[in-house]
Amino acid sequence: MGYRDYRVFSVTMASGGTLTGEVDLGVAYQRVYIDPTGAASEVRFQAAASSGGTYRQVLLPQPGTSTVQANIWKIGSGASGSIIEAPGGLRFLKIETTAAVSNGNTFKLICSEY
């Protein structure tokens, strides 16, 4: 039994930057993993419904509360050197850091249908 197709995207953030350009994954993958290596601060996602659209922070619901709440999806700086599952089902993304990166940085997005 084989595995379904997957793709790896390299996303570059310029030196001194805190936000990448738009990343079009081509489809809304069910599983997305990110390698945040090289980021010295929190890493977050922004998403839009279409190419060139309005990008907004990706929030995740906080279950088990009487009032609907949401938290910003983010990776702490201590996770460098790890691969972390990110929210799936989004096609147009930008990667944001909370502090400028030094000497640029390339993030890897590993995407799979299942």
Q: What's the domain count of the chain?
A: 1
User: Quick check: is 39 in a domain?
Assistant: yes
42-55 confidence digits (pLDDT tens): 999 999 999 999 99
User: Quick check: is 14 in a domain?
Assistant: yes
Q: Reduce the DSSP state of residue 103 to 3 states and report it.
A: coil
Residue ranges making up the domain that contains 68 = 6-112
User: Quick check: is 1 in a domain?
Assistant: no
Report pTM.
0.86
Whether residue 67 has pLDDT greater than 80: no
Distance CA 15, CA 39 (A): 11
CA-closest candidate to residue 29, choices 3, 60, 5: 5
Banded pLDDT at 111 (limits 50, 70, 90): very high
Q: What are the C-alpha distances in Å from 78 to residues 8, 43, 72?
A: 23, 11, 17
6-48 confidence digits (pLDDT tens): 899 999 999 999 999 999 999 999 999 999 888 888 999 999 9
Distance CA 89, CA 29 (A): 5
